[in-house]
């Protein structure tokens, strides 16, 4: 796929297909670089994985909430049929002919999405994304990192410019403070918050807060919103800058090593295992 070089700026109405073609580094690649290896990242870029159910549902909720005018052109509810029967097969074949590139949702998925949206509306943070300006929704931004000189890109859910808030909608299994903190650390959301706000500042000069709006995927769809504190921002900034340096080295040298650069490494055991097996200083006194 041919890459497109975009100039730094703020772009509206950019599809994910177009955004993917932009020749710039983004947070998801940098996070994969930190949590796997350059070899894994190179394979990921050369052979992009197929979409998962979780990504499909997350995308559907984003469009339902942030771009409702596009929902019917992107998603459609599939008929409930038994495709083991002749009539079911015929009904399903007729339905597939009407997709026209749209993604199918089951009746249960559609009902679940509606319940998630209704629960989201009861959150205090919903005020930041309701009554919004469409031109500030799903913005794609491109900027040059001042430290490495790398061209970067990001896709923002919503920029509340008058309040200096960048909003990010997340579906999650656990929206409690403890549960969502785990997701923030596991999936690198803290890195995303820092990189996105730094990119926005590079383009606008505005120092924004970053608001996560989390909604649980399963009933009762409890939700909560979390502002990002300065320590989390700094952790994310350190994280993405470290990954950027590695990315720059890999690109400039065209080297994409796996774990330990392919060298033999010493495998050590965890303190938990040594304690359990009473080894060395971890021996349990009888």
**How does pLDDT run across 211-242, given as a tens digit for each residue?**
999 999 999 999 999 999 999 999 999 999 99
Residue 219 lies in a domain: yes
Range of the domain at 191: 9-262
- The structural domain count of the chain equals 1
125: closest CA among 170, 190, 69, 155?
170
Residue 3 lies in a domain: no
Residue 286 has what pLDDT? Answer: 55
Backbone angles phi and psi of 31, in degrees to 5:
-70, -40
Residue 142 lies in a domain: yes
Task: Give burial (CB, 10 Å; 0-12/13-18/19+) of 148.
Answer: middle
Rounded CA-CA distance 119/214 in Å is 11
Residue 285 lies in a domain: no
Residue 274 lies in a domain: no
128 contact partners, CB below 8 Å, separation of at least 6:
158, 160, 163, 165, 167, 211, 213
Residue 273 lies in a domain: no
149: closest CA among 244, 58, 76, 271?
244
Residue 105 has what pLDDT? Answer: 92
Spatial strand order in the sheet of 223-227: 9-11, 137-144, 151-160, 165-172, 209-216, 223-227
Q: How many residues does the chain have?
A: 286
Strands (E), 39-150: 75-77, 103-105, 137-144
Residue 196 lies in a domain: yes
Pairing assessment for the beta strands 151-160 and 165-172 based on DSSP bridges = antiparallel
Domain CATH number, residue 216: 3.90.320.10
Enumerate the β-bridge partners of residue 159.
166
Residue 212 has what pLDDT? Answer: 96
Residue 13 has what pLDDT? Answer: 84
Residue 31 has what pLDDT? Answer: 97
Residue 213 lies in a domain: yes
Residue 284 has what pLDDT? Answer: 57
Torsion of CA 171, 172, 177, 178, to 10 degrees: -160
- pLDDT below 70 — which residues of the chain? 1, 131-135, 282-286
Helix (H), strand (E), coil (C) string for 30-66 = HHHHHHCCHHHHHHHHHCCCCCCHHHHHHHHHHHHHH
Residue 28 has what pLDDT? Answer: 95
């Amino acid at each position: 796929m041919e890459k497109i070089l975009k100039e730094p700026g703020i772009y509206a109405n950019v599809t994910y297909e177009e955004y993917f073609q932009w020749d710039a580094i983004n947070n998801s690649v940098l996070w994969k670089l930190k949590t796997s290896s350059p070899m894994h990242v190179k394979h990921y870029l050369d052979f992009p994985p197929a979409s998962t159910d979780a990504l499909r549902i997350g995308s559907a909720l984003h469009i339902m909430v942030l771009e409702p005018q596009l929902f019917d052109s992107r998603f459609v509810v599939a008929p409930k049929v038994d495709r083991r029967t002749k009539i079911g097969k015929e009904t399903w074949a007729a339905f597939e002919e009407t997709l026209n590139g749209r993604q199918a949702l089951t009746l249960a998925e559609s009902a679940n999405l509606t319940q998630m949206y209704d629960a989201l509306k009861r959150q205090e943070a919903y005020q930041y994304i309701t009554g919004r300006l469409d031109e500030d929704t799903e913005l794609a931004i491109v900027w040059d990192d001042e430290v490495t000189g790398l061209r970067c890109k990001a896709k923002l859910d919503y920029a509340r410019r008058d309040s200096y808030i960048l909003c990010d909608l997340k579906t999650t299994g656990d929206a409690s403070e403890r549960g969502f903190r785990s997701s923030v650390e596991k999936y690198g959301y803290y890195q995303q918050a820092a990189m996105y706000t730094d990119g926005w500042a590079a383009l606008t000069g505005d120092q924004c807060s970053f608001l996560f709006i989390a909604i649980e995927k399963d009933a009762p769809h409890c939700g909560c919103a979390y502002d990002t504190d300065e320590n989390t921002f700094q952790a994310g900034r350190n994280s993405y800058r470290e990954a950027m340096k590695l990315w720059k080295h890999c690109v400039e040298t065209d080297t994409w090593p796996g774990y330990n650069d392919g060298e033999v490494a010493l495998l050590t055991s965890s303190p938990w295992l040594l304690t359990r097996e009473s080894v060395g200083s971890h021996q349990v006194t009888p």
